[in-house]
Amino acid sequence: MKPSILLVDDDVLLLRSLKRVLQEDFQVTTAETAQLAFETIAEGNGFAVVVSDFKMPVMDGVQFLDRWSFLAPDTIRIMLTGQADLTMAIDAVNKGHIFRFLTKPINGDDLRLVLRDAVNQFQLVQAERVLLEQTLTGSVQTLMGLLSLFDPSGFGRGKEVRDLAIAVAARFSVDAGWDIGLAALLAGVGWLAIPVDVQAKVNRGERLSTQESEMLFRSPAVAAELISNIPRLQLVAEIIKYTRKDFNGTGYPKDQLSGSDLPLGSRILRVVQDYTNRLRVRKSKVVVFTELEAHAGQKYDPDVLRALGEVIQVSNICEAERHVLLALEELKPGMVLGDDIYTKDSEVIVLPRGTHLNLFHIERLRNYSAGRRVSDPVLINRTV
């Protein structure tokens, strides 16, 4: 099959002449304006090479090729002009990412040789892309296979986080869903470096030593360092690296980044990971979301929290305005539980929603809390 090329020039006679000379070796499409050229992309046509005149109405060749490089980055771009202006040529090369700069008049045979070089360059770019995509796909599949094998429950949680994080990211109108979703799945790579006994303590909600806490906080950086070695996953690695960094700049890693300077994907995953993890213990969207909101601007990005609230529709649960979170030491007889209270390490309900607390209930909760078996604070119905 002949390589496909596009010639763009407002000189109709020149287009006809060049097409006649080149069509034996190439599949030639012509366009008299930049707009007509862009329509060929809309129709699904792909070209190995595009040759554009410099002086054209409405949009000159530099602007056209710059725009084309955004729409079809792999296409090799060549500038053709009757003005041998060095400044213009430099501008064309820099802005339009030009492969060759040719001046009129040009011999058909000379143009054919340049086009052959351009097609070879296009094929080289395509081959490199295929190789990178195969490497990327294979590496990601290997990592996911390891995660699903050594930590199946954690990998399952990663899928939950991925789906919710992508939904939250969509609220920001950014085209980063793929990176954020992959970061959610691969963030668990660092977890594999944590000793099994420490993992067990984390899962049971037990207190960690300073050294063990350090391991836990460093795990995203460990994952990021490994993943950054895979082609095209540098952005994914950057997202993972900052998932334990607080919005106010505290946390890990210990650098100067804070606020909106932190990657958006990291800020989203920080909120979604904490929300998903807490929801397994607290069971109530309202309870967990209210807990996170208490740290807005400190641990969490307020805009991300707002987006999460929209996605999980917490405002539609009407409970938020009728409940308050209280620490166990603030509980008093007569208060009514606004949500079931579960043990941290099982599905056992310590006290059900709607319980009118008495001294026995309060003492029971405090005894469970002393053993770090229930979460504190708890949701209480407001007095109407």
CATH no. for residue 363?
A: 3.90.100.10
Other CB atoms within 10 A of residue 237 CB: 21
Same domain for 294 and 160, yes or no, is: yes
The pLDDT tens digits of the residues spanning 320-379 come to 446 677 888 888 888 888 777 777 655 567 777 778 888 888 888 887 776 556 666 777
Range of the domain at 31: 4-129
Domain boundary among 294, 317, 340: 317
Closest CA to 214 of 238, 184, 190: 190
Per-residue pLDDT, 85 = 59
Q: Convert the pLDDT of each residue in 179-193 to its tens digit.
A: 888 888 787 777 777
Query: Are residues 165 and 268 in contact, defined by beta-carbon separation less than 8 angstroms?
Result: yes
Same domain, 179 and 283: yes
Residues 14 and 159 in one domain: no
Instruction: Please give the tally of structural domains in the chain.
Output: 3
137 lies in some domain = no
Please tell me whether residues 105 and 156 are part of one structural domain: no
Q: How far apart are CA 81 and CA 54, in angstroms?
A: 5
Is 90 contained in some domain? yes
| 140 within domain boundaries | no
Residue 133, token pair as written in the block = 């995509």
Q: Give the whole-angstrom CA distance, residue 289 versus residue 164.
A: 14
One-letter identity of residue 260: S
pLDDT at residue 36 is higher than 50: yes
Same domain, 269 and 162: yes
Residue 121 is part of a domain; what is its CATH number?
Answer: 3.40.50.2300
Does residue 211 sit within a domain? yes
Mean per-residue pLDDT of the chain: 79
Identify the band that residue 64 occupies on the pLDDT scale cut at 50, 70 and 90. Answer: confident
Q: What is the DSSP string of 143-181?
A: HHHHHHHH-HHHHHHHHHHHHHHHHHHHTTT-S-HHHHH
Pairwise pLDDT comparison (14 vs 199), residue with the higher score: 14
Which residues, in sequence order, are CB contacts of 68 under 8 Å at separation 6+? 37, 38, 50, 52, 75, 77, 96
Residue 136 falls inside a structural domain: no
Cis omega before residue 195 (within 30°)? Answer: no
Taken in order 152, 157, 160, 166, is the CA torsion positive or negative? negative
The CATH number of residue 295's host domain is: 1.10.3210.10
Q: Tell me the CB-side half-sphere exposure of residue 190, using CA atoms within 13 A.
A: 23
Whether residue 172 sits in one domain with residue 47: no
Which amino acid is present at 137? T
Tell me what pLDDT residue 327 has: 80
Q: Are residues 280 and 327 in the same domain?
A: no
pLDDT band at residue 6, thresholds of 50, 70 and 90?
Answer: very high
| Angle (deg, nearest 10), helices 264-282 and 302-312 | 50
Any domain includes 376: yes
pLDDT tens column, 77-107? 988 877 655 666 666 666 557 888 888 777 7
Helix (H, G, I), strand (E, B) or coil at 186: helix
Say yes or no: 224 and 255 in one domain.
Answer: yes
On whether residue 139 sits in a domain, the answer given is no
Same domain, 246 and 340: no
**160 and 309 together in one domain:** yes
336 phi and psi angles, rounded to 5 deg: -115, 130
User: Which of 129, 160, 190 is the C-terminal boundary of a domain?
Assistant: 129
Say if residue 36 is in the same domain as residue 72: yes
Q: What pLDDT sits at residue 163?
A: 84
Q: Is 281 helix (H, G, I), strand (E, B) or coil?
A: helix
Task: Decide which of 292, 317, 342 is a domain's last residue.
Answer: 317
Q: Do the beta carbons of residue 162 and residue 181 sit within 8 Å?
A: yes
* DSSP structure string for 299-351: TB-HHHHHHHHHHHTGGGG--GGGEEEE-GGG--TT-BBSS-EE-TTSS-EEE
Task: Check residues 286 and 119 and name the one with the higher pLDDT.
Answer: 119
Predicted pLDDT at 318? 45
Indicate whether 247 pLDDT > 50: yes
State whether 112 and 195 are in the same domain.
no
- Please report whether residue 307 resides in a domain: yes
